[in-house]
Amino acid sequence: PNLTSIVGLPDFDYVARHYMNLSGYSYYRNGAAGEWSYRNNLEAFHRIRLRPRVLVDITNIESSLPTKILGHNFSAPFFISPCARAGYGNAEGEKGLVRGASQGNILYMVSDFSSLSKPEIQAAKTSGQVLFQQLYVASNFTETQRQLDQAAAAGFAAIVLTVDSAADGNRHRAVRFGVGSADSEYTYFTWDYYNQMRNSTRLPIIPKGIMSVEDAVKAVEVGAPAIYLSNHGGRQLDGAPSPLEIALEIYEQAPYVFNRTEVYADGGVRYGADALKLLALGVKAVGLGRPFMYANIYGDKGVKHAIDLMKREVAIDAANLGVGDLKKISPTYIDYRPNYWY
């Protein structure tokens, strides 16, 4: 389909389903086991309501989208989550994601298991473009140190350390095609290892995959520069909570977390209003994984189109919510009481 006929992010899933080969699509689409967490990531957004205000001055809503992430300026409060193997969707691999992110001026977090090498990815970026490097680390510190040094030397601005993958997810859908797991067997590392890593690089290290208020509090206690709420798009532990549920738990039990560190979140974000619900709770920026991987079938043009669609939806939904300045969105704009009607 022509890009002009793609009117929302879920349309890219439709394209991927029809135009990718089955093993590649299965790898992207897969959730762990019964895929409840995958579905719940999407559905949780529809279980809470917005609380719109009317007759609000929304003249400047679009100009309030730009957001700083760890001090770097971007045009929107959303980013491209780190996803492995862009080569399954596009022969040019991650190039479309790097370039699309540059054209739309949003952050791209590059997966450790990208199809292109780290130097190839750095070569594709535009001057001044900021990229973060996601890492999976093993418990061998010599190897970890090498990964940290390589990321710093390559020019990445921060490390995103994935902490939700102590073992491979059980991904039935993709295992059938031999593309079920990302890589390894078990990884053994702990908060002590995280602290050791932080003392071994000048780059900030953001733990990705925080799923409980306990760990959010722990991360703040050890001084994490930011935390990243995620259940890995439902790909690791089926039964793990959605980012919205995690953010609500933190908001109810330790709301100060949102003021003490930057909080990012991803999983199931497909519409502008999904992003707004997370931002309302205090999340600074939200990530999208699969929508951008599917959009990259079209290369940078598809990625840029996805960014434009999302920006527009965020602005339009904020306007209809009566939020005149995205920086002023707050928990009073959502209602998360149980919905007794179903």
Annotated binding-site positions for FMN: 82-84, 111, 134, 162, 208, 230, 266-270, 289-290
- Tokens 């579905």 map to which residue? 39
Question: Does residue 134 touch ligand FNR according to CB under 6 A?
Answer: yes
Q: State how far the Cα of 150 lies from the Cα of 129, in Å rounded to an integer.
A: 18
Judged by CB under 6 A, the stretch of 11-19, 231-239, 274-282, 303-311 that binds ligand FNR is 231-239
**Which of residues 37, 40, 64, 81 is near ligand FNR by CB under 6 A?**
81
**Which of residues 35, 61, 64, 82 is near ligand FNR by CB under 6 A?**
82
Residue 186: CB atoms within 10 A of its CB come to: 10
Nearer to ligand FNR, 44 or 281 (CB): 44
155 phi and psi, to 5 degrees? 105, 10
Considering only residues 1 to 20 of the shown chain, the ones binding ligand FNR according to CB under 6 A are: none
CB of 27 to ligand FNR, least distance (A): 6
Active site residue 172: no
Contact present, 41 and 233 (Cβ < 8 Å): yes
Which residues lie below 8 Å from residue 208, measured CB to CB, with a gap of 6+? 82, 134, 160, 161, 162, 163, 164, 228, 230
DSSP 217-264: HHHHHTT-SEEEE--GGGTS-TTPPPHHHHHHHHHHH-TTHHHHSEEE
Segment (H or E) for 288? strand 285-288
DSSP 308-321: HHHHHHHHHHHHHH
Question: Does residue 41 touch ligand FNR according to CB under 6 A?
Answer: yes
CB of 242 to ligand FNR, least distance (A): 10
Question: Does residue 296 touch ligand FNR according to CB under 6 A?
Answer: no
Question: Does residue 28 touch ligand FNR according to CB under 6 A?
Answer: yes
Question: Does residue 236 touch ligand FNR according to CB under 6 A?
Answer: no
Nearer to ligand FNR, 64 or 100 (CB): 100
Q: Rounded to whole angstroms, what are the CA distances from 154 to 130, 268, 325? A: 12, 31, 37
User: Would you please indicate which residues are annotated as catalytic (active-site) residues?
Assistant: 232
Binding residues (CB under 6 A) for ligand FNR: these are: 27-28, 41, 81-84, 111-113, 134, 162, 182, 208, 230, 232-233, 235, 266-269, 288-290, 293
